[in-house]
Chains A and B, each alone.
Chain A
């Protein structure tokens, strides 16, 4: 039991961070506005949670200009995908235990 709890990743213990990772697991990349729309959150909220995942090196942020408009897109790193996979497996085990 202790082992499983260890795999529950605190970094994903929030609805928005969980959402960001879920989207990035199945999409090569996602830009800021797409994520915002999918998750239904405010700019500031999304930015701060993305920042948290970035500081764990689970996602990388790419900033570029499309014409004159700045465009931010997010990509999950290898470590991020691995960590999220472990997290999902831990969740599944915890549920099947009960």
Chain B
């Protein structure tokens, strides 16, 4: 009898420690969908680039504006889906969406991501398009690694994958879009599926 009580105590301690530091309502399905949006966006972008192959892409050109617009639509769709599905999962698990752990995830994710976003926009302003794919991949990867301390471990591996792809994109500049597809599209779908099967399907 006594032993069972001690064992229960240890289990309670472990549960409280992880529950108070980790946000577990992050939805795997939202990763899969974000990957899907990114793939559609990238296919559309490459279609735009190929259509206007013989014109230079400059800040004022229609192609550039369309590509930028596509990127923002993909970003907002992904964030919106992630938010919606996470709130839904939190309600199901009885976890509050806006708690200490989720605030930590968000702030630690936002710092590298916003830095990278500003960096990318400054590169655009200087018409330095070559580095945009690697910069977005690298900073997104760092954001994932940074936020992963406060949520599922898998987010860390997703981040490391993005960082490796980002570094490759610096070296092989011609393959920027391909590596971008691998990172934001395929990697999201892959890790999203892993997380979905590990945590969501219960």
Residues of A within 8 A of B (CB): 15, 18-19, 22-23, 25-27, 30, 34, 37-39, 88, 91-92, 94-95, 98
Contact = CB atoms under 8 A, between A and B. Distances in A.
Interface residues of B, number: 16
Interface stretch (B14-22, B154-162, B166-174, B188-196): B14-22
Nearest to A25: B17
Give 4 closest A-B pairs by Cβ, nearest first. Answer: A22-B16, A23-B20, A22-B13, A98-B3
Interface stretch (B4-12, B36-44, B132-140): B4-12
Contacts of A98: 3
A82 B3 CA distance: 23
Given A34-B99, A34-B100, A94-B6, A23 B12 contact: no
Interface of B: 2-3, 6-7, 9-10, 12-13, 16-17, 19-21, 96, 99-100
Contact of B20 (A18, A22, A91, A92): A22
Contacts of B99: 34, 37
Given A27-B100, A30-B100, A91 B19 contact: no
B20 A15 contact: no
B100 A95 contact: no
A30 to B, nearest CB: 7
Nearest to B20: A23
A26 B20 contact: yes
B17 A95 contact: no
B17 A18 contact: no
Contact of A27 (B2, B7, B12, B20): B20
A91 B100 CA distance: 29
A95 B3 contact: yes
A66 to B, nearest CB: 15
Given A37-B96, A91-B9, 6 more contacts: A22-B16, A23-B16, A23-B20, A30-B20, A91-B6, A95-B10
Contacts of B3: 94-95, 98
A98 B19 CA distance: 28
B12 to A, nearest CB: 6
B6 A27 contact: no
